[in-house]
Chains A and B, each alone.
Chain A
C-alpha cells in the first residue's frame, strides 16, 4: 500500500475525507453553540424574572468600543474567507498573508476588549458593591463578564490556530491546494467565534432601556 493512500485511511479518497472532516467540525461547532446558547437562555430567563434590570445595567456598557470590535471581527472573517479561497487556488503566500491580517485584527479585538474591561473597572461596573449596588442589575454584569470573557478565550484560541496554520502554509509544511482543507477547518472555527459575537453584541450592548 502506498504512503499517500495510507495517509487517507479509513477514507476511500480525499473528497470523502474532506466531507467527513467538515461534518466533524460542524458537530464540534454545534457543541460550542450549545455552550454559549446556555448563557443566552440564562439571559432570557433573567430578563423574564427582572424586567428592566438588564437595560439599567446595559446603558453603562461601552457601545462605541463594542461596535468597533464587531466591525473588526467581521473584517477578520473576510480575511479568513479570502485566505481559504487563496488556499483552494494554491496561492500559499496570499493565503498566509490573509490569515496574518486576520490574526492582527483578532489581536486588536482582544486589546480593545481589554481597554473596555479597564474602563468598566474604573467606572466601578462590578458584579458586587459597584456603581449598580446590590440589585438585580448586577446579575446582568455577571452574565456580561462571563459571556465576553468566555468569548475572549475563544478568540485567543482562534488566534493561536490561525497563527499555527499561517506559519505552516507560509513555510510550505501545508502544501496548497492539497491541504486547503486545513485552512478551511480553522476558518470555520473563526467564523463561528464571529457569529457568537454577532449575537452577544445586541443581547448585551443593545439591551438599553
Chain B
C-alpha cells in the first residue's frame, strides 16, 4: 500500500509543479503562445489525473474509449465552429 500511495504523492508534486509553471508562463511575455502553453500544461495535468488518479492505466479498452469520447466531441464542436468563423464572409 505504501508504494501505491508514494506514486500518488509523486504525481501530486508533479501537478503542483505544473501549476507553478503555468502561472509563471502566464506572466511571461509569450504573446499568442501563452494560451497554447497554458492549454498544453492543462492537458498534461488532466492526463496525470486521468492516468494515475482515475486509474485509466489499469482500465480496459472500452473504459478508456469512454473517457475520451467527451473530449473528442468537444474537439469536433470547436473545430466546426472555428471553420464557420474562418470561412464565412464578413466575419472578422
Contacts and interface: CB of A to CB of B under 8 A. Distances in A.
A26 B50 contact: no
A45 B1 CA distance: 47
Interface residues of A, number: 52
Q: Is the interface of B mostly helix, strand, loop or mixed?
A: helix
Given A44-B82, A78-B9, A184 B55 contact: yes
A198 B16 CA distance: 11
Interface string A77-98: 1101110111001010000000
Nearest to A78: B12
Contact of A71 (B19, B38, B41): B19
A19 B12 contact: no
Nearest to A30: B70
Given A30-B66, A48-B82, A81-B8, A195 B46 contact: yes
Residue of A22, A32, A38 contacting most chain B CB atoms (<10 Å): A22
Interface in B41-65: 41-42, 45-46, 49-50, 52-55, 59-60, 62-63
A31 to B, nearest CB: 7
B5 to A, nearest CB: 5
Given A48-B82, A85-B8, A207-B35, A74 B73 contact: no
Residue of A38, A77, A86, A89 contacting most chain B CB atoms (<10 Å): A77
Contact of B42 (A41, A199, A208): A199
B32 to A, nearest CB: 10
A41 B53 contact: no
B61 to A, nearest CB: 10
Contacts of A30: 66-67, 69-70, 73
Contacts of B87: none
Contact of A37 (B8, B9, B59, B74): B74
Contacts of B60: 19
B23 interface: yes
Interface string A57-82: 00000010001001100110110111
A115 interface: no
B92 interface: yes
A203 to B, nearest CB: 8
